[in-house]
Amino acid sequence: MADQGANSTWNDEILGWRGRVGLIFPTTNLLLETALPRLAPSGVTFHSARLRISGGADAETLRRMAERAFDAARDLAEARVDLITYCCTASSFVEGQQHDLEMIERITAETGIPCITTMQSITFALDALAIRKPALVSPYVEQLEKLEIRYLEKAGFDVVASSAMGVCDLIALHDPIPGDIYRHARRTLIDEADGILISCNALRAHMIAGILERDSGRPVVTSLTATLWGILRALKVCEPIAGYGRLLAGFAPPLAGSA
């Protein structure tokens, strides 16, 4: 006969006994559902709503996709998640910080569930690590790179160096291997930069974040590490995660109000 205690623990974990997180992201993203459950502490579970996207990695395509976010949030609310996380970095910065905040407020108001976005978590993470002059690395085309710089500068950061890989195919955003991301970041980094931001939740930058920090002597924030950090802080789950940089390792303090 199976051990009922063991079964009870298994069921509690599947149900997210420390937190159930609703994720909203493009249909083309292959990384979030794979990486977040591997990195997250036991008891935090992830439940997805995908936004259909057709076209390339450009501003207009992302704007059209983002219009569906509110329906996706209402769908996730039916699963009684504890937090809704909008995980498309680029579609947040395309419209700017004010629009990002308005999306957060609207989703929270319509569902009654707290909401965060990857871009919001990035800005909080940069603040927490005292990064004011980041070097920015992304897989995007130049149009999107300029819009991300605009978002960050309006949020109070001085982007002192940037380098976009020029990937225009949404699936191909996943293609750069971690070693190539590392080398690209090292080439972009200049002495004036006090940290590194590697953008895009399709990019496997989290895998080299810790190594890049040690080798460069500068803190590193990636879209995925910032997203997970923002999720854990919002859930008040303060468990360090080693190997992916000081943000997740517990160097950075929790978000205001989450202590």
Q: Are residues 95 and 18 in the same domain?
A: yes
Domain boundaries, position 229: 4-118+225-242
Q: Are residues 198 and 102 in the same domain?
A: no
Q: Are residues 52 and 158 in the same domain?
A: no
Q: Has residue 253 been placed in a domain?
A: no
Q: Has residue 256 been placed in a domain?
A: no
Q: Are residues 36 and 114 in the same domain?
A: yes
Would you give the DSSP letter of residue 248? H
Q: Give the pLDDT score at 28.
A: 86
Question: Does residue 257 register a pLDDT over 50?
Answer: no
Q: Are residues 174 and 214 in the same domain?
A: yes
**Distance of alpha carbon 206 from alpha carbon 240, whole angstroms:** 15
100-126 tens-digit pLDDT? 899 999 999 999 999 999 999 999 999
Q: Has residue 258 been placed in a domain?
A: no
Q: Has residue 31 been placed in a domain?
A: yes
The two beta strands, 83-86 and 161-164, are unpaired
Q: Are residues 171 and 187 in the same domain?
A: yes
Q: Are residues 215 and 146 in the same domain?
A: yes
CATH assignment at residue 62: 3.40.50.12500
Q: Give the pLDDT score at 256.
A: 43
Q: Are residues 155 and 193 in the same domain?
A: yes
What is the DSSP code string of 138-187?
ESS-HHHHHHHHHHHHHTT----EEEE----STGGGG-S-HHHHHHHHHH
Q: Has residue 128 been placed in a domain?
A: yes
Contact 92, 65 (CB under 8 A): no
Q: Has residue 15 been placed in a domain?
A: yes
Q: Has residue 252 been placed in a domain?
A: no
Q: Are residues 100 and 130 in the same domain?
A: no
Would you give the DSSP letter of residue 203? S
67-104 tens-digit pLDDT? 788 999 999 999 999 999 999 888 888 887 888 899 99
Domain count, the chain: 2
Q: Has residue 250 been placed in a domain?
A: no
Q: What are phi and psi of 213, to 5 degrees?
A: -60, -50
Contact 103, 88 (CB under 8 A): no
**Distance of alpha carbon 98 from alpha carbon 151, whole angstroms:** 9
Q: Are residues 112 and 10 in the same domain?
A: yes
Please give the model's pTM, rounded to 2 decimal places: 0.90
Mean pLDDT of all residues in 240-251:
91
Average pLDDT, the chain: 89
Torsional sign, CA 237, 242, 245, 249 = positive
Q: Give the pLDDT score at 9.
A: 55
**Distance of alpha carbon 58 from alpha carbon 210, whole angstroms:** 30
Q: Are residues 212 and 234 in the same domain?
A: no
Q: Are residues 98 and 147 in the same domain?
A: no
Spell out a b/e string for 82-92, using b for 16 or more CB atoms within 10 Å of the CB, else e. bbbbbbbbbbb
Most confident of 42-51, 138-147, 226-235: 226-235
**By three-state DSSP, how is residue 6 classified?**
helix
Give the closest residue to 163 by CA, choosing from 186, 188, 144: 188
**Distance of alpha carbon 180 from alpha carbon 213, whole angstroms:** 16
Q: Give the pLDDT score at 3.
A: 45
CATH assignment at residue 218: 3.40.50.1860
